Amino acid sequence: MDSTHFYRDTWVEIDLDCIFENVKNMKRFLPEQVDIMAVVKANAYGHGDVEVAKTALEAGATGLAVAFIDEAISLRHGGINAPILVLGASRPTDVAIAAEHNISLTIYSQEWLDEVLKNNHGNTPLTLHLKLDTGMGRLGIKEKGELQTILKTIEENPQIQLEGVFTHFATADEINTSYFDQQYQNFLQMLEWMPNKPKMIHCGNSATGYRFPEKVFNVVRLGIGMYGMTPSLEIKDQLPYQLQQAISIHSKLVHVKRITKGEKISYGATFTADEDMWVGTVPVGYADGWLRKLQNTHVLIDGELCQIIGRICMDQFMVRLPKKLPVDTKVTLIGKQKDKFISVDDVANALDTINYEVTCSISFRVPRIFLRNKRIIEVRNPLLRHY
């Protein structure tokens, strides 16, 4: 028994061939000088950080990005030596740990840099990317004076190396480009404030890369597109090549029963059978990320769409079956069965949210199976990692 085993009939499949193809296609599409930094924060948007990172690097990505130091260390523990950038804020007291693991950090204020210098991080060089706030209003420097002071401080402290400068767009995935254009102009102007530019200049997420490949300088931070999902429904028709959704989620019927007209199902007894029917129990619930709001949506069983009836419980929900089906019949929550397909976007629509949130919400207790060339190459079940 170890973390490659699982004892429940619910799992996520990650087709790493899709990740590979999505990265490869992006590399082909972008101008030659543009590198790909694969964004693998949040356990690679719920897909599996180390496995996705390795595949992206194989496909031509040259670096990785995460949100915080722990995520970067997780990649290092997974045996990854490629450059990693922490996009979010780090504690100034933690820079030694980052330097030790050769992890680049984001500098987003003079105050942060002063604190870093106070917390002498030893002799290991610290690599930084400077974040400019051009209109996202999240992290970054806005004022010329602050930028100049920071550049001077960096110059005076040779143990700190400025490797990159970047910004992030708030509306790159919207048809109307006026705010994007404004942010882009701000970025150009702020870059003018830097007489010596670092080697990496980046501003593009997936949407920017797809729509404005001539505007991304020399790195694209590729997130959602790498997973084969559109940055937004608005620009779905503007994508330069077909994306391949890497994730699918499956389970099995664990109990099948006949109920008669008038019988009720699940908490609150909100569902009443309008006729005699077959009902299946599926061992997936809101604790797996299959939220209660998905009541009445459909899953695929035996190639057919079957409705979730009654409230979704913590670990289980019930479905209306078209006929008696055997226990162990496969249930697909996201993915393909026969000629039918449920996309992450379908689930996001039902939840009034975006595809990003759906895959990030599939919880740690659902094991991930990784496929390459249609064969299982790895299984990850964090629940059994201590064995």
205: contact with ligand PMH by CB under 6 A: yes
Q: Which of 236, 241, 267, 324 is catalytic?
A: 267
> Given candidates 90, 206, 316, 355, which one binds ligand PMH under the rule CB under 6 A?
206
Q: HSE (CB half, 13 Å, CA atoms) of 162? A: 21
Q: Per DSSP, which regions of 246-312 are E strands?
A: 247-252, 255-259, 264-265, 271-272, 277-282, 298-301, 304-309
What distance in Å separates the CA atoms of residue 284 and residue 347, rounded to the nearest whole number?
15
Q: Is residue 41 flagged as an active site residue?
A: yes
Of 47 and 168, which CB lies nearer to ligand PMH in the complex structure?
168
223: contact with ligand PMH by CB under 6 A: yes
> Given candidates 221, 250, 252, 380, which one binds ligand PMH under the rule CB under 6 A?
221
Of 132 and 224, which CB lies nearer to ligand PMH in the complex structure?
224
- Reduce the DSSP state of residue 121 to 3 states and report it: coil
Query: Where in 77-106 is the site for ligand PMH (CB under 6 A)?
Result: 87
What distance in Å separates the CA atoms of residue 285 and residue 318, rounded to the nearest whole number?
10
Give the interface segment with ligand PMH, choosing from 151-159, 215-223, 254-262, 331-339 (CB under 6 A).
Answer: 215-223
168: contact with ligand PMH by CB under 6 A: yes
Query: Where in 24-63 is the site for ligand PMH (CB under 6 A)?
Result: 39
> Given candidates 46, 140, 231, 310, which one binds ligand PMH under the rule CB under 6 A?
231
The one-letter code for the residue type at 206 is S
Instruction: Give me the sign of the Cα torsion angle 251, 257, 261, 265.
Output: negative
Q: Residues in the chain, how many?
A: 387
134: contact with ligand PMH by CB under 6 A: no
Of 206 and 251, which CB lies nearer to ligand PMH in the complex structure?
206
Q: Is residue 267 flagged as an active site residue?
A: yes
- Reduce the DSSP state of residue 330 to 3 states and report it: strand
- Reduce the DSSP state of residue 355 to 3 states and report it: helix
What distance in Å separates the CA atoms of residue 16 and residue 345, rounded to the nearest whole number?
20
Q: Which residues bind ligand PMH (CB under 6 A)?
A: 39, 87, 168, 205-207, 221-225, 231, 356
Catalytic residues: 41, 267
